[in-house]
Amino acid sequence: MNAIIDASELASALAGANPPVLLDVRWQLSVARAAGEPPFDGRAAYLAGHLPGAVFVDLDEELASAPGAHGRHPLPDLGVFGAAMRRAGVSSRTPVVVYDGGMGWGAARAWWLLRWTGHPDVRVLDGGLPSWQGPLETSVPAPAEGDFLPEPGETGLLDADGAAALARSGVLLDARAGERYRGEVEPIDRVGGHIPGAVSAPTTENVGAGNRFRPAAELVTRFKELGVSESSPVGVYCGSGVSGAHEVLALAVAGIPAALYVGSWSEWSSDPGRPVAVGPDPQ
């Protein structure tokens, strides 16, 4: 099953016999803003207009735990996450489609969590809400309670030690912007740079016009050029496990399984005892 779905396919699926549950995960990275500019409010954006029947999911509250020693977006408490999914109507035998405001990062985080915890049928709306040509609604639905019970997967998740080991034994991709990887700037975390051995692979280069994913064949070529082969285990990290999930999604579109280091650079760089590499080269 393809990990993404386009707007026309979604419209057909919604009109079918087993329509998907829709999750709205509009979210933006919190960085310094101009004086007087309010922070992005995903719930307010949802209330202003969303796909019919979609339920809002709060990334910071329901798809992550509170920031701390394990990064800015640690894994959520699975009880909280499961309750949020059931409240949204998610069941184990019902397909799910996740979307956000277009960048795809928030939607990818929900996609990754659902897949990692055992849901068999989850896709991301390619291009997000801007790609949708149908009507929007402002009313808040009250779906029937779902039955999804998240069970953490045995694979697909890396901790700091696992990421360091994978950088030596396989391919560890850094999904952040190149200047953060090189250590030239660091707007959020304690220090700039990258995990020694990691390869710079900005997830923004996996998409084209309208933030839609590049064709699978192009993604295969891109990842091959970054050192990914059929025999190499692949891992991804980013700043806090959100844009990294988007890169894992791009790899899935290319047919390449990959693990996610959820703590990512926000966890790694918080420990002064962990090594930091700078510059354009992995080492």
- Of 238, 242, 251, 252, which is the active-site residue? 238
Does residue 238 carry a catalytic annotation? yes
157-268: same fold as 4-131? yes
CATH code of the domain occupying 4-131 = 3.40.250.10
DSSP classification of residue 200: E
Q: Is the pTM of this model over 0.85?
A: yes
- Hey, which residues does 96 pair with through a beta bridge? 21, 122
What residues have CB less than 8 Å from 81, skipping those under 6 apart?
62, 63, 113, 117, 150
Decide if domain 157-268 falls under CATH 3.40.250.10: yes
Q: Where are the domains of the chain?
A: 4-131, 157-268
Select from 84, 95, 81, 89 the least CA-distant residue to 144: 89
Identity at 66, one-letter amino acid code:
A
What does each of the 283 residues of the chain score in pLDDT, given as a tens digit? 799 999 999 999 999 999 999 999 999 876 544 455 678 899 999 999 999 999 999 999 999 999 999 999 999 999 999 999 999 999 999 999 999 999 999 999 999 999 999 999 999 999 999 999 999 999 999 999 999 999 999 999 999 999 999 999 999 999 999 999 999 999 999 899 999 999 999 999 999 999 999 999 999 999 999 999 988 999 999 999 999 999 999 999 999 999 999 999 999 999 999 999 999 999 8
Angle at 12 between CA 6 and CA 13, to 5 degrees: 85
Token pair listed for 55 = 């339920």
